[in-house]
Amino acid sequence: MQRLEGRPFALLGVSTNGYRPAELDDAMEKSELTWRSFADPPPAGAGPIARQWNLTTVPTLYLIDHLGVIRQKWLGAPEPAQLDEAIERCLRAVEKK
């Protein structure tokens, strides 16, 4: 993802499986995830983020453009090619404006 650093988008993950922040950091490092992710505190699926955003799947990942518009939402982990394609589509759309 370093090739996309500084481009007008963000990936935001939310983990609702009960990880505490330090545990999520360890899991992300082991999985080599490079995007921001928030741990919604236990009990699993009942934390404040899950309740407010109606999250039911672990993980949930959002692709957000520079204006804060959600361009894509994945329930579960997307395949790398699927993620790359969605990011490129988002960048083409926002860079045309």
Best CA proximity match to 37, nearest among 58, 56, 54: 58
* CATH number for the domain that contains residue 82: 3.40.30.10
pLDDT at site 86: 93
In angstroms, the Cα distances linking 24 to 12, 59, 63, 80, 81 are 14, 11, 19, 20, 24
- pLDDT of 6-46, one tens digit each? 788 888 888 877 777 788 888 888 888 778 888 887 776 77
DSSP state of 67: T
- The reply to whether the predicted model has a pTM over 0.75 is no
Q: Which residues in the chain belong to E strands, given as ranges?
A: 9-15, 36-39, 60-65, 70-75
Looking at the structure of the chain, the number of domains it has is 1
In percent, the amount of the chain with pLDDT more than 70 equals: 94
pLDDT at site 30: 86
Give the structural domain span for 45.
2-96
